[in-house]
Structure 1
Amino acid sequence: MITKPEDFAKSGFNFALFFANTAFDGVERLALLNLAAARSVFEVSMSNFTTLLGAKDVQSFVALQKTLASPSIEKGMEYSRNVIAIASETKDKIAKEVETQVADTNAKVSGLVEKALASAPAGSEVAVAAVKTAIKSANEAYEGLNKVAKQAAEVAEASVAAATAATVKASKAA
Protein backbone atom coordinates (compact mmCIF):
# COMPACT_ATOMS: atom_id res chain seq x y z
CA MET A 1 0.00 0.00 0.00
CA ILE A 2 1.61 3.24 -1.14
CA THR A 3 0.36 6.25 0.76
CA LYS A 4 1.06 9.83 -0.16
CA PRO A 5 0.82 12.84 2.16
CA GLU A 6 -2.09 14.04 0.01
CA ASP A 7 -4.00 10.91 0.96
CA PHE A 8 -3.64 11.74 4.65
CA ALA A 9 -4.73 15.34 4.02
CA LYS A 10 -7.74 14.23 1.97
CA SER A 11 -8.70 11.71 4.63
CA GLY A 12 -8.47 14.38 7.32
CA PHE A 13 -10.53 16.82 5.26
CA ASN A 14 -13.20 14.19 4.60
CA PHE A 15 -13.39 13.39 8.31
CA ALA A 16 -13.70 17.09 9.20
CA LEU A 17 -16.50 17.42 6.65
CA PHE A 18 -18.26 14.34 8.04
CA PHE A 19 -17.88 15.64 11.59
CA ALA A 20 -19.28 19.07 10.67
CA ASN A 21 -22.25 17.59 8.79
CA THR A 22 -23.03 15.19 11.63
CA ALA A 23 -22.77 17.94 14.24
CA PHE A 24 -24.98 20.27 12.20
CA ASP A 25 -27.53 17.48 11.76
CA GLY A 26 -27.62 16.95 15.52
CA VAL A 27 -27.94 20.68 16.20
CA GLU A 28 -30.71 20.96 13.62
CA ARG A 29 -32.62 18.09 15.20
CA LEU A 30 -32.22 19.66 18.66
CA ALA A 31 -33.42 23.04 17.35
CA LEU A 32 -36.53 21.45 15.84
CA LEU A 33 -37.18 19.56 19.07
CA ASN A 34 -36.79 22.78 21.08
CA LEU A 35 -39.16 24.68 18.81
CA ALA A 36 -41.76 21.94 19.04
CA ALA A 37 -41.35 21.80 22.82
CA ALA A 38 -41.67 25.59 23.13
CA ARG A 39 -44.85 25.57 21.04
CA SER A 40 -46.28 22.72 23.08
CA VAL A 41 -45.44 24.42 26.40
CA PHE A 42 -47.09 27.65 25.24
CA GLU A 43 -50.25 25.88 24.05
CA VAL A 44 -50.51 23.74 27.18
CA SER A 45 -49.86 26.73 29.43
CA MET A 46 -52.66 28.72 27.79
CA SER A 47 -55.02 25.76 28.05
CA ASN A 48 -54.08 25.14 31.69
CA PHE A 49 -54.47 28.82 32.54
CA THR A 50 -57.97 28.84 31.03
CA THR A 51 -58.85 25.68 32.94
CA LEU A 52 -57.54 27.11 36.23
CA LEU A 53 -59.56 30.27 35.72
CA GLY A 54 -62.67 28.10 35.81
CA ALA A 55 -61.95 26.89 39.35
CA LYS A 56 -64.83 27.65 41.73
CA ASP A 57 -62.87 27.48 44.99
CA VAL A 58 -59.37 26.87 46.41
CA GLN A 59 -59.85 23.09 46.72
CA SER A 60 -60.88 22.71 43.09
CA PHE A 61 -57.99 25.01 42.09
CA VAL A 62 -55.47 22.78 43.94
CA ALA A 63 -57.04 19.63 42.52
CA LEU A 64 -56.82 21.05 38.99
CA GLN A 65 -53.16 21.98 39.52
CA LYS A 66 -52.33 18.43 40.56
CA THR A 67 -54.19 17.03 37.58
CA LEU A 68 -52.48 19.40 35.15
CA ALA A 69 -48.96 18.91 36.58
CA SER A 70 -48.61 15.20 35.82
CA PRO A 71 -48.80 15.43 32.00
CA SER A 72 -46.31 18.32 32.10
CA ILE A 73 -43.79 16.24 34.02
CA GLU A 74 -44.23 13.36 31.60
CA LYS A 75 -43.74 15.69 28.63
CA GLY A 76 -40.60 17.05 30.28
CA MET A 77 -39.27 13.53 30.70
CA GLU A 78 -40.12 12.71 27.07
CA TYR A 79 -38.27 15.85 25.98
CA SER A 80 -35.24 14.77 28.03
CA ARG A 81 -35.31 11.31 26.48
CA ASN A 82 -35.44 12.84 22.99
CA VAL A 83 -32.49 15.13 23.73
CA ILE A 84 -30.49 12.18 25.05
CA ALA A 85 -31.43 10.08 22.01
CA ILE A 86 -30.31 12.79 19.58
CA ALA A 87 -27.04 13.31 21.45
CA SER A 88 -26.43 9.57 21.67
CA GLU A 89 -27.11 8.98 17.97
CA THR A 90 -24.80 11.84 17.01
CA LYS A 91 -22.08 10.55 19.34
CA ASP A 92 -22.44 7.02 17.95
CA LYS A 93 -22.13 8.22 14.34
CA ILE A 94 -19.01 10.22 15.13
CA ALA A 95 -17.48 7.43 17.25
CA LYS A 96 -18.00 4.90 14.47
CA GLU A 97 -16.35 7.21 11.93
CA VAL A 98 -13.45 7.90 14.32
CA GLU A 99 -12.89 4.16 14.70
CA THR A 100 -12.90 3.74 10.93
CA GLN A 101 -10.50 6.64 10.42
CA VAL A 102 -8.14 5.44 13.14
CA ALA A 103 -8.07 1.91 11.71
CA ASP A 104 -7.43 3.26 8.21
CA THR A 105 -4.72 5.63 9.40
CA ASN A 106 -3.09 2.88 11.47
CA ALA A 107 -3.01 0.62 8.42
CA LYS A 108 -1.47 3.37 6.29
CA VAL A 109 1.10 4.33 8.91
CA SER A 110 1.97 0.69 9.55
CA GLY A 111 2.48 0.20 5.82
CA LEU A 112 4.77 3.22 5.65
CA VAL A 113 6.70 2.11 8.73
CA GLU A 114 7.05 -1.45 7.41
CA LYS A 115 8.32 -0.09 4.11
CA ALA A 116 10.77 2.21 5.86
CA LEU A 117 11.93 -0.53 8.22
CA ALA A 118 12.41 -2.97 5.35
CA SER A 119 15.00 -0.66 3.88
CA ALA A 120 16.72 -0.07 7.22
CA PRO A 121 20.47 -0.68 7.22
CA ALA A 122 21.91 -3.90 8.54
CA GLY A 123 22.44 -3.96 12.29
CA SER A 124 19.38 -1.85 13.09
CA GLU A 125 17.22 -4.80 14.13
CA VAL A 126 16.97 -3.53 17.73
CA ALA A 127 15.72 -0.13 16.57
CA VAL A 128 13.25 -1.79 14.18
CA ALA A 129 11.92 -3.98 17.01
CA ALA A 130 11.60 -0.92 19.27
CA VAL A 131 9.57 0.96 16.64
CA LYS A 132 7.28 -2.03 16.08
CA THR A 133 6.77 -2.41 19.85
CA ALA A 134 5.98 1.30 20.21
CA ILE A 135 3.38 1.13 17.44
CA LYS A 136 1.81 -1.98 18.97
CA SER A 137 1.70 -0.34 22.42
CA ALA A 138 0.10 2.82 21.01
CA ASN A 139 -2.58 0.77 19.25
CA GLU A 140 -3.31 -1.21 22.42
CA ALA A 141 -3.53 1.99 24.47
CA TYR A 142 -5.98 3.49 21.96
CA GLU A 143 -8.13 0.35 22.03
CA GLY A 144 -8.15 0.40 25.85
CA LEU A 145 -9.15 4.06 25.98
CA ASN A 146 -11.85 3.49 23.38
CA LYS A 147 -13.27 0.59 25.39
CA VAL A 148 -13.29 2.67 28.60
CA ALA A 149 -15.00 5.58 26.82
CA LYS A 150 -17.71 3.26 25.48
CA GLN A 151 -18.28 1.78 28.93
CA ALA A 152 -18.52 5.25 30.48
CA ALA A 153 -21.08 6.30 27.87
CA GLU A 154 -23.14 3.17 28.51
CA VAL A 155 -23.08 3.77 32.27
CA ALA A 156 -24.13 7.40 31.78
CA GLU A 157 -27.01 6.41 29.50
CA ALA A 158 -28.17 3.75 31.95
CA SER A 159 -28.00 6.26 34.83
CA VAL A 160 -30.07 8.79 32.90
CA ALA A 161 -32.63 6.13 32.02
CA ALA A 162 -32.87 5.06 35.67
CA ALA A 163 -33.21 8.66 36.86
CA THR A 164 -35.91 9.31 34.27
CA ALA A 165 -37.86 6.24 35.33
CA ALA A 166 -37.56 7.17 39.01
CA THR A 167 -38.74 10.73 38.33
CA VAL A 168 -41.75 9.55 36.34
CA LYS A 169 -42.60 7.04 39.08
CA ALA A 170 -42.23 9.72 41.80
CA SER A 171 -44.39 12.18 39.87
CA LYS A 172 -47.14 9.61 39.46
CA ALA A 173 -46.98 8.80 43.17
CA ALA A 174 -47.28 12.48 44.06
Structure 2
Amino acid sequence: MSTLTPQQLVTAQQAGLETLFGLTNKAFEGFEKLVTLNFQVGKATLAESQEILAKGLSASNPGELLALPASLSQPAAEKVAAYGRQVHEIVSEVQSEISAAATAQVQQFQRDAQAFVENLKKNAPAGSESVIAAWNSAFSAASATYESANKAARQWVSTVSAAQ
Protein backbone atom coordinates (compact mmCIF):
# COMPACT_ATOMS: atom_id res chain seq x y z
CA MET A 1 0.00 0.00 0.00
CA SER A 2 1.33 3.41 -0.93
CA THR A 3 1.49 6.13 1.69
CA LEU A 4 2.35 9.80 1.62
CA THR A 5 6.05 10.50 1.51
CA PRO A 6 7.64 13.13 3.77
CA GLN A 7 8.28 15.29 0.70
CA GLN A 8 4.58 15.16 -0.23
CA LEU A 9 3.66 16.24 3.30
CA VAL A 10 6.17 19.12 3.19
CA THR A 11 4.86 20.19 -0.21
CA ALA A 12 1.27 20.09 1.03
CA GLN A 13 2.18 22.10 4.13
CA GLN A 14 4.04 24.69 2.04
CA ALA A 15 1.05 25.05 -0.28
CA GLY A 16 -1.24 25.49 2.71
CA LEU A 17 1.01 28.15 4.22
CA GLU A 18 1.28 30.00 0.90
CA THR A 19 -2.50 30.04 0.67
CA LEU A 20 -2.84 31.23 4.26
CA PHE A 21 -0.35 34.05 3.76
CA GLY A 22 -1.93 34.98 0.44
CA LEU A 23 -5.36 35.25 2.07
CA THR A 24 -3.91 37.19 5.00
CA ASN A 25 -2.27 39.64 2.58
CA LYS A 26 -5.59 40.10 0.76
CA ALA A 27 -7.32 40.85 4.06
CA PHE A 28 -4.63 43.39 4.99
CA GLU A 29 -4.89 45.02 1.55
CA GLY A 30 -8.62 45.45 2.11
CA PHE A 31 -8.00 46.84 5.59
CA GLU A 32 -5.42 49.24 4.14
CA LYS A 33 -7.95 50.45 1.57
CA LEU A 34 -10.52 51.04 4.31
CA VAL A 35 -8.01 52.96 6.44
CA THR A 36 -7.00 55.07 3.43
CA LEU A 37 -10.65 55.79 2.64
CA ASN A 38 -11.32 56.78 6.24
CA PHE A 39 -8.32 59.12 6.30
CA GLN A 40 -9.50 60.74 3.06
CA VAL A 41 -13.01 61.16 4.45
CA GLY A 42 -11.65 62.55 7.73
CA LYS A 43 -9.42 65.04 5.93
CA ALA A 44 -12.25 66.15 3.63
CA THR A 45 -14.63 66.47 6.59
CA LEU A 46 -12.14 68.62 8.46
CA ALA A 47 -11.71 70.91 5.45
CA GLU A 48 -15.48 71.16 4.97
CA SER A 49 -16.00 71.90 8.66
CA GLN A 50 -13.49 74.72 8.42
CA GLU A 51 -15.30 76.10 5.36
CA ILE A 52 -18.71 75.87 7.08
CA LEU A 53 -17.39 77.59 10.17
CA ALA A 54 -15.93 80.36 8.04
CA LYS A 55 -19.27 80.79 6.23
CA GLY A 56 -21.11 80.86 9.56
CA LEU A 57 -18.77 83.46 10.99
CA SER A 58 -18.96 85.61 7.87
CA ALA A 59 -22.77 85.57 7.66
CA SER A 60 -23.96 89.14 7.50
CA ASN A 61 -27.50 88.46 8.68
CA PRO A 62 -29.42 85.79 10.63
CA GLY A 63 -31.14 84.55 7.45
CA GLU A 64 -27.83 83.50 5.91
CA LEU A 65 -26.86 81.73 9.11
CA LEU A 66 -30.19 79.85 9.29
CA ALA A 67 -29.98 78.86 5.59
CA LEU A 68 -26.54 77.30 6.03
CA PRO A 69 -27.65 73.95 7.57
CA ALA A 70 -30.33 73.48 4.92
CA SER A 71 -27.79 74.00 2.13
CA LEU A 72 -25.53 71.32 3.64
CA SER A 73 -27.99 68.47 4.21
CA GLN A 74 -28.22 67.24 0.60
CA PRO A 75 -24.44 67.11 -0.04
CA ALA A 76 -23.93 65.40 3.32
CA ALA A 77 -26.45 62.67 2.47
CA GLU A 78 -24.80 62.12 -0.91
CA LYS A 79 -21.38 61.86 0.73
CA VAL A 80 -22.61 59.32 3.26
CA ALA A 81 -24.13 57.23 0.46
CA ALA A 82 -20.90 57.44 -1.58
CA TYR A 83 -18.86 56.42 1.46
CA GLY A 84 -21.15 53.43 2.03
CA ARG A 85 -20.78 52.37 -1.60
CA GLN A 86 -16.99 52.60 -1.41
CA VAL A 87 -16.86 50.55 1.80
CA HIS A 88 -19.18 47.97 0.24
CA GLU A 89 -16.98 47.76 -2.87
CA ILE A 90 -13.82 47.24 -0.83
CA VAL A 91 -15.40 44.60 1.42
CA SER A 92 -17.03 42.83 -1.55
CA GLU A 93 -13.75 42.74 -3.45
CA VAL A 94 -11.86 41.23 -0.51
CA GLN A 95 -14.68 38.78 0.21
CA SER A 96 -14.76 37.71 -3.44
CA GLU A 97 -11.01 37.13 -3.59
CA ILE A 98 -10.96 35.17 -0.34
CA SER A 99 -13.99 33.14 -1.39
CA ALA A 100 -12.40 32.28 -4.75
CA ALA A 101 -9.15 31.23 -3.08
CA ALA A 102 -10.96 29.17 -0.46
CA THR A 103 -13.07 27.47 -3.12
CA ALA A 104 -9.97 26.63 -5.15
CA GLN A 105 -8.29 25.25 -2.01
CA VAL A 106 -11.28 23.07 -1.16
CA GLN A 107 -11.53 21.81 -4.73
CA GLN A 108 -7.83 20.90 -4.66
CA PHE A 109 -8.35 19.10 -1.35
CA GLN A 110 -11.27 17.19 -2.86
CA ARG A 111 -9.15 16.15 -5.86
CA ASP A 112 -6.29 15.10 -3.57
CA ALA A 113 -8.64 13.14 -1.31
CA GLN A 114 -10.20 11.39 -4.29
CA ALA A 115 -6.74 10.53 -5.64
CA PHE A 116 -5.82 9.18 -2.19
CA VAL A 117 -8.91 6.94 -2.14
CA GLU A 118 -8.20 5.75 -5.69
CA ASN A 119 -4.62 4.97 -4.67
CA LEU A 120 -5.93 3.05 -1.66
CA LYS A 121 -8.24 1.05 -3.96
CA LYS A 122 -5.37 0.11 -6.25
CA ASN A 123 -2.98 -0.90 -3.49
CA ALA A 124 -5.34 -2.25 -0.83
CA PRO A 125 -4.96 -5.82 0.29
CA ALA A 126 -7.73 -8.28 -0.39
CA GLY A 127 -10.68 -8.01 1.99
CA SER A 128 -10.38 -4.27 2.61
CA GLU A 129 -13.12 -3.28 0.18
CA SER A 130 -15.51 -2.26 2.98
CA VAL A 131 -12.92 0.10 4.51
CA ILE A 132 -12.26 1.66 1.10
CA ALA A 133 -16.00 2.03 0.53
CA ALA A 134 -16.35 3.74 3.93
CA TRP A 135 -13.52 6.19 3.06
CA ASN A 136 -15.11 6.89 -0.30
CA SER A 137 -18.51 7.41 1.31
CA ALA A 138 -17.04 9.79 3.92
CA PHE A 139 -15.29 11.88 1.26
CA SER A 140 -18.45 11.97 -0.85
CA ALA A 141 -20.53 13.10 2.12
CA ALA A 142 -17.97 15.79 3.00
CA SER A 143 -17.97 17.03 -0.59
CA ALA A 144 -21.75 17.16 -0.70
CA THR A 145 -21.87 19.03 2.61
CA TYR A 146 -19.31 21.53 1.37
CA GLU A 147 -21.21 22.10 -1.87
CA SER A 148 -24.46 22.65 0.03
CA ALA A 149 -22.85 25.10 2.49
CA ASN A 150 -21.06 26.94 -0.32
CA LYS A 151 -24.31 27.30 -2.27
CA ALA A 152 -26.11 28.65 0.81
CA ALA A 153 -23.28 31.11 1.48
CA ARG A 154 -23.36 32.38 -2.13
CA GLN A 155 -27.13 32.85 -1.92
CA TRP A 156 -26.79 34.74 1.35
CA VAL A 157 -24.06 37.02 -0.08
CA SER A 158 -26.15 37.74 -3.19
CA THR A 159 -29.19 38.50 -1.03
CA VAL A 160 -27.20 40.87 1.20
CA SER A 161 -25.61 42.55 -1.85
CA ALA A 162 -29.00 42.98 -3.51
CA ALA A 163 -30.44 44.58 -0.36
CA GLN A 164 -27.78 47.27 -0.44
Both structures adopt the same fold (TM-score exceeding 0.5)? yes
CA offset at residue 60 of structure 1?
3.4
Partners of 1:112 and 1:128 lie apart in 2 by 10
Q: TM-score, normalised by structure 1?
A: 0.84
CA distance in structure 1 between the partners assigned to 2:137 and 2:53 by the alignment:
70
CA–CA distance in 1 between the matches of 2:138 and 2:15? 24
Does 2:136 match 1:129? no
Deviates more, 1:114-123 or 1:135-144: 114-123
What does the per-residue CA deviation read over 1:34-58, in whole Å, with 9 as the maximum and x for residues that have no partner?
1100011001111112222233444
2:95 to 88, 91, 108: 91
- Equivalenced residue count is 159
4+ long deviations beyond 6 Å = none
Map of 1:144-155 to 2, 5 A cutoff? 144-155=148-159
* Identity fraction in percent: 29
Deviation at residue 25 of structure 1 after TM alignment: 0.8
Structure 1 stretch displaced more, 31-40 or 107-116: 107-116
Of residues 51, 54, 58 in structure 2, which corresponds to 1:47? Answer: 51
1:22 touches 1:90 (CA, 8 Å); kept in 2? yes
Counterpart selection for 1:68 from 58, 67, 72: 72
Residue identity in the other structure for 1:88: S
Q: How far has the Cα of 1:24 moved from its partner? A: 1.4
Number of the residue aligned with 2:113 = 109
Can you give the 5+ residue segments of structure 1 that lack an aligned partner in the other structure? 162-174
User: Residue 77 of structure 2 aligns to which amino acid in structure 1?
Assistant: I
Given residue 66 of structure 2, which amino acid in structure 1 is its aligned partner? Answer: V
How is 1:11-50 mapped onto 2 (pairs within 5 angstroms)? 11-50=15-54
Superposition CA RMSD, Å: 1.7
Query: How far apart, in 2, do the equivalents of 1:116 and 1:129 lie?
Result: 10
**Alpha carbons 2:59, 2:65 under 8 Å: kept:** yes
Q: Match for 2:104 among 56, 79, 100?
A: 100
Measured in 1, the distance between the counterparts of 2:56 and 2:119 equals: 78
In structure 2, C-alpha distance between the alignment counterparts of 1:41 and 1:157, rounded to whole Å: 28
Partners of 1:93 and 1:99 in 2: CA distance? 10
- What code does the residue aligned with 1:101 have? Q
Higher mean C-alpha deviation, range 57-66 or range 36-45: 57-66
